[in-house]
Structure 1
Amino acid sequence: MIICHCQSISDQDIRAAVDWMRAADADTIITPGKVYHALGKRADCGGCMPLFLDTMRQCDSFGVATAAERPPILRPARLRLAQAR
């Protein structure tokens, strides 16, 4: 399925880029910008971003499953406050 029509990026392209980045560095923080860069493309209008992000999140290798396992800076503020107490 085409996710980004401006740059002709499919869901398979996104999954392949995420898997490749995760295999290269298990600790890297994967962002849409890094996915675009890995595919040799650039974001254009941004209309695809919600679907682009959903596709990234669905990848098995995208990242950790629970908020408690994320690096502190990426945890929701509510969770950070609860753990600090």
Structure 2
Amino acid sequence: MIVCHCMNISDHDIHAAVDWMRASDEATLITPGKIYRALGKKADCGGCLPLFMKTMQANDNFEVPLELRHLRQRRDEARRG
């Protein structure tokens, strides 16, 4: 399915980019911008972003690495403590 019509990016392209990024660096934070760059493209109108994000989040490799979760909460607790 085509997710981004402006740049002709499919759901398969997005999943492949997420998988590739996670395999090359398991601690990386994956963003739409990084996916566009990995595919050699740039965002255009932004109309696809809700579906683009939903497609990214559906990938099992998308989740935030465990050591990076709740960083803000831990920082705030350290400031209070």
- TM over 0.5: same fold? yes
2:51 is equivalent to residue 55 of structure 1:
no
CA distance in 2, matches of 1:11, 1:58: 10
Moved segments of 4+, more than 2 Å: none
CA distance in 1, matches of 2:28, 2:64: 11
CA RMSD of aligned residues (A): 2.2
Letter in 2 for 1:33: G
* Percent identity over paired residues: 61
The structural deviation recorded for 1:64 is 4.0
The C-alpha deviation readout for 1:22-72, integer Å capped at 9, x for no partner, is 000000000000000000000000000000000000001011499xx7251
Structure 1 match to 2:7: 7
* TM-score, scaled relative to structure 1: 0.79
Aligned residues: 76
Query: Which runs of no fewer than 5 residues in structure 1 stay unpaired?
Result: 74-79
The gaps in structure 2 that reach 5 residues or longer are: none
